[in-house]
Amino acid sequence: MEAKELRIGNYVDLYGTMATVRRFDFNDRAPSGLAVDESKPIPITEDWLIKLGFKWSKMYNWWRFKNPYILLNKDFSLKEKPFGIEIKCEYVHELQNLFFALTGTELKIKN
């Protein structure tokens, strides 16, 4: 994973624990000053989608985020309405970045 893939607020795996990117310095170091290459991307799973506020729709067979309205297929391909854009996301930080690019709002863990 490279620093250019990350934004402040992205979730990453740091030594087996979830960490949030809080800052970067001029040496491309991330969470708490640790090098980006010490962190790993977090694969998207059903558990992660639930944490982020998505709900499974049995009727339509996709993951749904209500407001703004975003759809994810079973294979975690993002669909954004009304434009019909479809993009495959493998990692949580990719989904967070794409969500922000499309909606202007941060995708965060829900309480």
* pLDDT tens digits for range 28-49: 555 555 566 778 999 999 999 9
For residues 19 and 31, is the Cβ–Cβ distance under 8 A?
yes
Mind listing the pLDDT tens digit for each residue in 4-19?
888 989 999 988 989 8
Per-residue pLDDT at 33? 56
Mind listing the pLDDT tens digit for each residue in 39-78?
899 999 999 999 999 999 888 788 888 877 777 878 888 7
Q: Which residues contact 38 (CB under 8 A, 6 or more apart)?
A: 14, 15
Rounded Cα distance, 51 and 110, in Å:
6
Rounded Cα distance, 101 and 17, in Å:
26
